[in-house]
Amino acid sequence: MSVESVLFDILWDEFVLWSAFVAAITFGWLYHHSFWYRSDEDGELPNRDGIRVGFFPKHNDDIRLEVTWTVLPFLLIVYLTYISWAPLDATWTSTENGNHNAECDYDNPGYDGSNNRIADMETGIIESDCYHIIEITGQQWSWIFDCRDLGPDLCETDFTTAEVYGTVPRLMLKEGETYLAVMESNDVTHAPWFLELATKEDVLPGQQTALWLPITEGGDSIILCAEYCGDAHSVMAGILSVHK
Amino acid sequence: MSDEHHGDHHPSAWGPHDWEHNPGPPHNSWAPLILSMGFGTFLFSLASIYNWGELENASYIPLALVGLAVITAGLVVWWRQDASFDGSYEPRAVGAPFKNIQIRKVAMWVFLMSEMMIFSSLFSTYMRYRLGLTPCQEVFDSGNWVEGTSVVCFEPASHLIASSWYHLAPGAINTFALITSSFTIVMALKTAKRTDLISAERSKLVTRYLGTTWLLALLFITLKMVEWFIGFPMPGFLNDGHAIQSLYEEGYLINNDAYQNHHYVDAAGAHMMADIQVSATTFYVTTGTHGVHVFAGVIGLTYMTYKAHTGGYTPDNAASIEYFGLYWHFVDLVWVLVFPFFYLY
Amino acid sequence: MSRAALAILVVLAAMLAAPSATSVPSGVENVSQSGCGCHSGDNPNPSVTPSIEGLPETYNYSQTYELTVSFTGGPSDSSNINQGGFNLWVSDGELTVSDGTAQVNALDGSVTHTEAGNDQTSWVVIWTAPTTDRNVEFILHTNSVNGNAGGSEGSSGDMWNRLTVEVSAPVEVQEPVNPFVVLSVLIIVTAVLLAITLAYVFYRVSPDSFDWDTFAPWIAEWLTSTDHKRVGTLYFVQGLFFLVVGGIMALMIRIQLSVPGNDFLTQEQYNQFFTLHGTVMIFLAAMPLIAGFANWIVPLQIGAPDLALPRLNAMSFWLQPVSAILILTGIFSGGGADTGWTGYAPYVVSETAHVGTTMWIAGQIMLVASSTLTGINFLTTIAVMRAPGMGWMQMPLFTWSIFVANLMLFLSIPAWGVGLIQVYLDRVIGTAFYDVAAGGDPLLWSHLFWYFGHPEVYVVIVPAFGVISEVIATSSRRSVFGYRSMVYAMAGIGLVSFIVYGHHMFTSGMDPTLRFITMLTTMLVAVPTGIKIFNWLKTMHGGTLVYRTHTLWALGFLVTFTLGGISGMYFPSIAMDVHLHESYFVIAHFHYVLVGGTLFGFFAAIYYWFPKMSGRMMSEKLGTLHFLVAFVSYNAAFWPMHRLGVWGMARRHHTYFVTTDEALGALPMEAAGWNMFITVSAFIFAASTLILVVNMINTVIRGEDAPPDPWGGWSFEWMVASPPPTPSFSEIPTLMDANEHIANEPGAIARWFSRLMVAEEDIEEAMH
């Protein structure tokens, strides 16, 4: 799998586990009944519930069972909601004293980078000392990355070529640093999908959106456009290149 | 097939429908097919004539007219089948729990439910922009503008309309016209139900009430056109000799990105320019949608007045007037919401 | 409380419930002008004369041309430090350079001079002609430089000018066809073909008495009929026809995606195909199929002579074929809608969206009208036209599902209708609802669309629930387990559907609070759906499962729908959704629900009710074959898409890229193989539908006669002959109840409703 987000992996594994559990119960039940209760083609068909044309048949219900399979799935849902809740902090953490603290103060003598780390192995939530701000602008049909005031050590942009996509912009970020992308569109809606970071957010014309990019692992990965934007939507790609 | 059941009475898909011998609505009608083709043609040619507000291809205008003509033809077929409806058949619920409810009345209430959603959506759009964009007055007062550059802000139409009694007059008269027409439609129903009159007398009265409703609805649309496009001159002693200008002349337009209002001139004589496209759009489309509903009412009333004139309404089928009345009251009610939101506040 | 006051309350409540947008646009920055970064001033100077030499009048495919770009005039002089510069942009083909005096600009592919080339007035550029039949435009900007750039004057005194040259394609490029001509031709051709087909069918029925006098009335009968069974058949035919059309589009899409970097379709064509595939499948195939069965079966099931308003019902139908023509118009004139079925603003109102988008919107406006009329009809019919003895809680579950579906549709579709009208007006008369520069909000469209869009997906699945409830119960020879909880679960789904739509907008920039709330509500959907699945399973318990084709489809539905339901649970978890959104995981999920749910459900319905509709029994052998082939190939086609989505395959992309480099974060190599596998499976799945068509034709021609109640159901449709006569019931039947309680006492709500709706005198009349 190309996704390297611990947060995503943890949730995914948990959900797959419960999916398998629910599927096993349902399908086990289904297959058992399909064979066990199949009719004997030659025999007389029983009619326990008084099925007869023009007659509403006898009720066939059991309130305890029905309540059971209302309550049990509900409890499972509550649990799944609970485990999906905590990672919201990572998705939309505040820019002031949130998981990523505040914007880096480069003049501060104590400044030594974002130093992000996985704070909690249970949830995969990442925390940082501070973050850097970069700008992403979408337009038909290319990405424009802007490092603002960041030096080439922290952020750099250029162009590179990729198979299928042709010439694409490249965003070079540093491992261990956390970035906040401030995004806007020049024309229609776009959405950068950072494949390896397992995240995306729409880029809208006329209003700003923001996206957290905590860079924890090195290597190159693709950035795609995930919100349909016209003719060349599918080749509106970019490369995220992470250096040490 | 129908022949077996109904003897010699051949049902006609063009109308008039023989309600007495074919109880129940017509088994065949050309109207749905014709109407659908008319709507399709009209929407198609309208979209071909204009693009982003610019006249793209005038050669489609005749086709748009053909579309409207086809729609009219469809309506004529539909009503030709209906015109003979004499109340000998009024579908009613047979089963519990709504036994004896008139089915068409229920259908009308259900229809009004979707109408409510339509106007709710339009109001949501309006509220979103009204609350989301800064009011032009506020921008002007704050002084954060430069002469010669347009500011995006919200300029409610009421700022123009409510600024003078004369500007407000068409809307105010319209309000009374609609409320009065709600009264006359009820009177038409009451009269049609009266059994103490001879039928010629009753028809005459019903025709008058429906005709009055029709006239009031037409007045509504006329005044709307005056307010939007035409404007009217005023005698000098009333308004310092200034004619009342239409919204069109004032420049309150859906494509005006450099709107100037005489209020927005500062002490130094500098003019603030505003991009009011969104404000004007919400105003015209919401009030316009209501206007289209009134217009649909006018078309319906034309048919009903004609039918009343030919003596078509009797106590047996007066319910038809009631169903139209439900719609008409609804249109009235919407205006009661539109008026304060768009004209006063 | 008066009715008017009541109505005001309802309006206010509706307004509160209606979608309202939350985000605030904070103004828009100007789109940067892509004009000339030229020296000195905004205006070109005519004293500079740019020229391009070496250009042919018409180019040959892929041929390379050596162009000499030069200029004369202006302050340029060989004694200057620098003499000039240029920028050459081309609309098609590729520009390269031959020496160090020029360079390629990576962003737009244009060529400009390098520092080394600053001291020249003529440069050499290589142009490789494109492989497509397009006229190519060259735009050349040149600067004539007086050489004082190093000094304090900067570029002042320099002059520039622009030259535009057009080179024709090898064959004459045809102007886009006039859509009106195409439309007219299509209408005529379609009408002629339809007429010939109908004439042939009619001729086959009785070859001896075939003449115009008998044929014309027969055609007219179909065109004008308001009978619910005939209109139902028309819907059914339309639905199947567009299922084929949409299916062909899906196969085109699959051919394009079978290998990475494929060019079977151009990106413009691909974008039209996936847009129209979505629109056609949902609005012109799934909804009419449902409406067809609802028309046929609901009046029979509740013992009504017809729908409440038969002529409006015919109107609902006839709006559909006309709107289909509008929706598809664009594709024949080369510019079909390419917005995705969601039609997000502001793209949908931008000039980059193809011209056919306007017609596509117009067609959908007519579909909204059609659905609204259908809603009026079915809500009214089901509410008040049930036969004596059939209270709300004695209604067959299929009728219940149609009621719930229409209620959802009816209350949500006006929002979309208004959105469509806004977009139509924006594109046609130039209103500014979604004009971002004027303060328009793109999210407003998303809200209006999804307020309708989410209930809509339940509208197409809930009727399938109804079918499955009927089929499983009848096949098991039992009454459905937990009839009441089935009804409440459906009603619950209907209610919840209105408050979950935000989960389509988790990555949209919508207010986080709203996103969080819809995450909670979305999770809730699993509960009523779970109740239904467990109830179906329990229905089989203790029964006697009679295996018929419809039974197989119902059991298949349970498998695929459960899987689709489970994968749906991944989306409300926002931290996962930000990865899965707009990926193939979404495609897999909703095809499991819409194909494995709705379509399988309605295949079951075809096998279940076709004997009733045609009077002939279908072949069980062909049916079983159809099920086996379709079930296997269907799962093979859609299951791998889950994995592709997680790997990072985006939806709505006309091409994709697989990497051989393990270190690069992109789709791995296996993705290509899986895509080919999916394409092959999709073709088998499509082919399996032919078995159904063959089976249906075969049945109509030489099937055995069907008895009134071939499967042993209890509701009224099994009481009348197959096919049912017109009128269906010689007299309105009365429903008996095998349970002991008395069912027909109106409840409190019904009594209140009756008082509201029935005039006093009518009540008195009814009492006497």
CATH classification at residue C696: 1.20.210.10
Active site residue C469: yes
Q: What is the pLDDT of residue A38?
A: 87
Is C725 inside a domain boundary?
Answer: no
The C-alpha atoms of residue C338 and residue C650 are separated, in whole angstroms, by: 17
Among C540, C679, C567, C547, smallest CA distance to C624 is for: C547
Mean pLDDT, residues C356-375:
94
A93/chain C closest Cα distance in angstroms:
10
Answer yes or no: do C400 and C431 share one domain. Answer: yes
Where are the strands (E) in C484-529, listed by range? none
Answer yes or no: do C399 and C438 share one domain. Answer: yes
Task: Measure CB to CB from residue A55 to each of C29, C260, C737 and give the nearest one.
Answer: C737
Q: Which residues on C lie below 8 Å from A21 (Cβ)? A: none
- Specify the residue for token string 């089928």: B317
Conformational region of residue A177, where left means phi above 0, alpha means psi within -120 to 50, and beta covers everything else: beta
Which chains touch A (3+ CB pairs under 8 A)?
C
Is C726 inside a domain boundary?
Answer: no
Q: Is the pLDDT of residue C537 over 50?
A: yes
* Chain C residues 708-747 with a CB less than 8 Å from chain B: 726, 732, 744-747
Answer yes or no: do C187 and C282 share one domain. Answer: yes
Interface check B39 vs C, CB under 8 A: yes
User: H or E stretch including B151?
Assistant: strand B150-152
Q: What is the pLDDT of residue C263?
A: 81
Kindly state the tokens that stand for B2.
């129908």
Residues near A25 by beta carbon (within 8 Å), at least 6 away in sequence: none
pLDDT band at C662 (very low <50, low <70, confident <90, very high): confident
Q: Mutate one of C8, C181, C194, C224 to test the B interface: name it (highest B CB count within 10 A).
A: C224
Strands A130-139 and A178-185: parallel
Answer yes or no: do C375 and C519 share one domain. Answer: yes
Strands C658-659 and C667-668: parallel
C282 CA to centre of own chain: 5
Number of domains within chain C: 3
Answer yes or no: do C161 and C200 share one domain. Answer: no
Q: Do A200 and C582 touch (CB under 8 A)?
A: yes
Answer yes or no: do C409 and C301 share one domain. Answer: yes
Q: Is the pLDDT of residue A77 over 60?
A: yes
Q: Do C545 and A167 touch (CB under 8 A)?
A: no
User: H or E stretch including B125?
Assistant: helix B103-132
Mind listing the pLDDT tens digit for each residue in A12-39? 999 999 999 999 999 999 999 999 998 8
Answer yes or no: do C58 and C202 share one domain. Answer: no
Q: Mutate one of C259, C511, C576, C711 to test the A interface: name it (highest A CB count within 10 A).
A: C576
Q: Do A89 and A95 contact (CB within 8 A), yes or no?
A: no
Q: Which residues on B lie below 8 Å from C762 (Cβ)? A: 100, 102
Is C174 inside a domain boundary?
Answer: no
Q: Is the pLDDT of residue C742 over 70?
A: no
Active site residue C341: yes
Q: Do C285 and C239 contact (CB within 8 A), yes or no?
A: yes
Q: What is the pLDDT of residue C549?
A: 94
Highest mean pLDDT, choosing among B78-92, B183-197, C19-33: B183-197
Kindly state the tokens that stand for C383.
């509410």
Mind listing the pLDDT tens digit for each residue in A150-162? 889 999 999 988 8
| Average pLDDT score, chain C | 84
User: Residue A178 pairs with which residues in a beta bridge?
Assistant: A214
Answer yes or no: do C503 and C617 share one domain. Answer: yes
Active site residue C141: no
Mind listing the pLDDT tens digit for each residue in C374-396? 999 999 999 988 888 888 888 99
Q: Is the pLDDT of residue B221 over 90?
A: yes
Q: Which residues on C lie below 8 Å from B52 (Cβ)? A: 351, 426-428, 430
Question: Which of A75-84, B87-96, C215-224 is least confident?
Answer: B87-96
| pLDDT over 90 percentage in chain A | 51
Is C6 inside a domain boundary?
Answer: no
- SS3 call for C104: strand
Residues near C81 by beta carbon (within 8 Å), at least 6 away in sequence: C119, C147, C148, C149, C150
Q: What is the pLDDT of residue C652?
A: 92
Q: Do C484 and C393 contact (CB within 8 A), yes or no?
A: yes
**Can you give the residue range of the structural domain that contains C754?**
738-767
Is C10 inside a domain boundary?
Answer: no
Q: Walk me through the domains of chain B, giving residue ranges and CATH numbers.
A: 1-89 (no CATH), 105-344 (1.20.120.80)
pLDDT band at C96 (very low <50, low <70, confident <90, very high): confident
Q: Dihedral sign for Cα C196, C246, C287, B75, please.
A: negative
Is C614 inside a domain boundary?
Answer: yes
Residues near C638 by beta carbon (within 8 Å), at least 6 away in sequence: C588, C591, C592, C595, C596, C678
Nearest chain B residue to C433 by CA distance is B278
Q: What are the distances in angstroms from CA C98 to CA A161, B56, B148, B345, C114? A: 20, 45, 49, 69, 12
Q: What is the pLDDT of residue C451?
A: 94
Mean pLDDT, residues B127-149:
89
Greater model confidence, C43 or A178: A178
Answer yes or no: do C149 and C185 share one domain. Answer: no
| Catalytic residue (one of C40, C329, C529, C583) | C529
- SS3 call for C658: strand
Query: Residue C626: phi, psi to the nearest 5?
Result: -55, -50
Q: Taking chain B, what is the end-to-end CA distance rounded to the nearest angstrom?
A: 61
The C-alpha atoms of residue C168 and residue C60 are separated, in whole angstroms, by: 10
Active site residue C306: yes
Is C724 inside a domain boundary?
Answer: no
- Specify the residue for token string 């270190």: C663
Active site residue C741: no
Q: Is the pLDDT of residue C487 over 90?
A: yes
Q: Dihedral sign for Cα C38, C41, C46, C48, please.
A: negative
Is C730 inside a domain boundary?
Answer: no
Answer yes or no: do C384 and C416 share one domain. Answer: yes
C438/chain B closest Cα distance in angstroms:
6
Q: Do A239 and A171 contact (CB within 8 A), yes or no?
A: yes
| pLDDT over 90 percentage in chain C | 45
Q: Longest Cα pair distance anywhere in chain A, in angstroms?
A: 90
Interface check B341 vs C, CB under 8 A: no
Q: Do C329 and B285 touch (CB under 8 A)?
A: no
Q: Mutate one of B66, B75, B101, B326 to test the C interface: name it (highest C CB count within 10 A).
A: B101
Q: What is the pLDDT of residue C35?
A: 34
B236/chain C closest Cα distance in angstroms:
36
Q: Do C561 and C539 contact (CB within 8 A), yes or no?
A: no
Mind listing the pLDDT tens digit for each residue in B18-40? 777 777 778 889 999 999 999 99
Q: What is the pLDDT of residue B67?
A: 94
Active site residue C456: yes
User: H or E stretch including A178?
Assistant: strand A178-185
Q: Is the pLDDT of residue C512 over 50?
A: yes
Q: Taking chain C, what is the end-to-end CA distance rounded to the nearest angstrom?
A: 29
* Chain C residues 633-672 with a CB less than 8 Å from chain A: 646-648, 650, 652-657, 663-668
User: Residue A160 pairs with which residues in a beta bridge?
Assistant: A168
Among B179, B122, B161, B216, smallest CA distance to B342 is for: B161
Q: Which residues on C lie below 8 Å from B121 (Cβ)? A: 18-19, 414-415, 417-419, 448
Which chains touch C (3+ CB pairs under 8 A)?
A, B
Residues near A159 by beta carbon (within 8 Å), at least 6 away in sequence: A167, A168, A169, A170, C106, C107
Among C161, C124, C163, smallest CA distance to C144 is for: C161
Quote the pTM value.
0.84
B/e letters for B190-216, b = 16+ CB within 10 Å, e = fewer, are ebbbeeeeeeeebbebbbbbbbbbbbb
Q: What is the pLDDT of residue C153?
A: 47
Q: What are the distances in angstroms from CA C747 to CA B170, B171, C744? A: 49, 46, 9
The C-alpha atoms of residue B104 and residue B96 are separated, in whole angstroms, by: 17
Which chains touch B (3+ CB pairs under 8 A)?
C
Half-sphere exposure for C765 (CA within 13 Å, toward CB): 10
Q: Mutate one of C10, C428, C446 to test the B interface: name it (highest B CB count within 10 A).
A: C428
Answer yes or no: do C148 and C238 share one domain. Answer: no
Q: Do A114 and A160 contact (CB within 8 A), yes or no?
A: no
Answer yes or no: do C345 and C461 share one domain. Answer: yes
